[in-house]
Amino acid sequence: MNYKLKVTIPVVVCGGAVLAYYLIRRKAAAMVDAGTLEKLEAGFSKLQASDSKSLLKKYLTKEVFESLKNKKTSFGSTLLDCIQSGVENLDSGVGIYAPDAESYSVFAELFDPIIEDYHTGFKSTDKHPPKNWGDVESLGNLDPAGEFVVSTRVRCGRSMEGYPFNPCLTEAQYKEMEEKVSTTLSGLEGELKGTFYPLTGMSKETQQQLIDDHFLFKEGDRFLQAANACRFWPSGRGIYHNENKTFLVWCNEEDHLRLISMQMGGDLKQVYKRLVTAVNDIEKRVPFSHHDRLGFLTFCPTNLGTTVRASVHIKLPKLAADKAKLEEVASKYHLQVRGTRGEHTEAEGGVYDISNKRRMGLTEYDAVKEMHDGIVELIKLEKSL
């Protein structure tokens, strides 16, 4: 991959500048090397011959493949960078990542239909609504008696403006970003005040404590590894948490930033309010990548838009006796069911991780409200069985 080709152009509204921009983009979109093309052809053949159920296989038709295989972004990213994880892991659900923000435009012929499919009907002509956290006070406790909900968590992802995503970052950029994030977070006050722990040079004691708290993220799973999201590990990676351990920031895990608010029990209002306060505060200090049509930009297209994932760890023994039935009911409310430790894991002790599935085409508040309403219905159903 050509990492040197990075072009920053001020937006000037005049003919010459537009032409220059167009020519540079043309140059950036020029020749994909023979080795990459060979890998692309082999990857496409492997995908077509497989019985993969991924959205990548569904939408990477021969026609789309031929149209995109010679394209490059100005960061040097090719179609191979987008699809290699899905080609290597044929059991992927989605199978595609964006190596940089520009990929969503350059490879739109592939990204747009996948986005529309995953985000239930968000068409290429649709526009994600402006950010709106809504009335924070209007959300209550999902399970005041504490019978079903073990814990509640709301997170969002953010990408820092001016940097590509993981596969294109240099080691120097990783370190620079970590420094910016660490400095920014050290300015948080009140309930959000805490400590930043870089993964590089972390003591065994700190590491063990963070593992015990389930805070420490590991080097990416095979899906992220194959997408080249784990280069220069652990450079530039770090974890921040407040004193109460109810607010957490992951720096350069899958996205540049993951902001997480969580606590035991079902008090969604408190969890959501904490996240909103934190995001609003951090946003004043760090500019985030935002796309006029797609909302906030992330490495994986499933997180675009609001990037918000509101989830609970919940025990529903009667409903869960029939996993297929649980998933069917959950999908009716646009909810996604995962194992206890998240994606690609099993439920431990009958505890499921259930969250909103939709993140695009609706506001932040609506995404969280969708989870709220769905969980309330699932609890009602569990009680009636």
CATH of the domain at 99: 1.10.135.10
206 is catalytic: no
Polymer length of the chain: 385
The answer to whether residue 130 sits within a structural domain is no
pTM: 0.84
Q: How many CA atoms, within 13 angstroms, populate the side-chain half-sphere of residue 256?
A: 30
156 is catalytic: no
**Active-site hit among 25, 309, 358, 359:** 309
Kindly provide the residue ranges of all beta strands, DSSP E only, lying in 101-185, ordered along the sequence.
149-158
346 is catalytic: no
Same domain flag for 110 and 145: no
Q: Is residue 248 part of a domain?
A: yes
- Compute φ and ψ for 25, nearest 5 degrees: -60, -40
The catalytic position among 102, 116, 178, 254 is 254
31 belongs to a structural domain: yes
Helix axes 34-49, 79-88, angle to 10 degrees: 40
Does residue 124 form part of some domain? no
131 lies in a domain? no
Q: Is the confidence at residue 76, as pLDDT, over 70?
A: yes
**73 in Cβ contact with 106 (< 8 Å):** yes
Q: Is the peptide bond before 287 cis (omega within 30 degrees of 0)?
A: no
> For the residues 10-16, what does the mean pLDDT come to?
43
pLDDT at site 342: 61
Rounded distance between C-alpha atoms, residue 266 and residue 263, angstroms: 8
Q: Rounded to 5 degrees, what are φ and ψ at 61? A: -75, 170
pLDDT of residue 110: 99
Give the side-chain half-sphere CA count within 13 A for 370: 24
Do both 214 and 344 map to the same domain? yes
The helix (run of H) or strand (run of E) holding residue 194 is: strand 194-198
Number of domains comprising the chain: 2
> For residue 19, is it within any domain?
yes
Is 155 assigned a catalytic role? yes
Same domain assignment for residues 298 and 352: yes
Q: Is 359 a catalytic residue?
A: no
Q: Say which of 158, 300, 359, 370 is annotated catalytic.
A: 300
Q: What is the pLDDT of residue 272?
A: 98
151 is in an annotated binding site: yes
Region 3-20: mean pLDDT is 42
Active site residue 25: no
| Residue 47 domain-assigned (yes or no) | yes
Q: Give the model's pLDDT for residue 225.
A: 93
Q: Is the pLDDT of residue 50 over 60?
A: yes
Last residue of a domain, one of 88, 118, 148: 118
* CA-wise closest residue to 315 among 140, 143, 155, 154: 143
Q: Structure tokens of 149?
A: 């909900």
pLDDT higher than threshold 80 for residue 22: no
pLDDT for 347 equals: 64
Same domain, 153 and 237: yes
63 lies in the same domain as 168: no
Whether residue 209 is contained in a domain is answered as yes
Spot the catalytic one: 36, 302, 307, 363.
302
67 is in an annotated binding site: no
What's the domain range around 36? 15-118
Q: Tell me: do 207 and 146 sit in the same domain.
A: yes
168 in active site: no
Contact 298, 164 (CB under 8 A): no
Chain mean pLDDT for the chain: 90
246 marked among binding-site residues: no
Tell me, yes or no, whether 111 and 229 share the same domain.
no
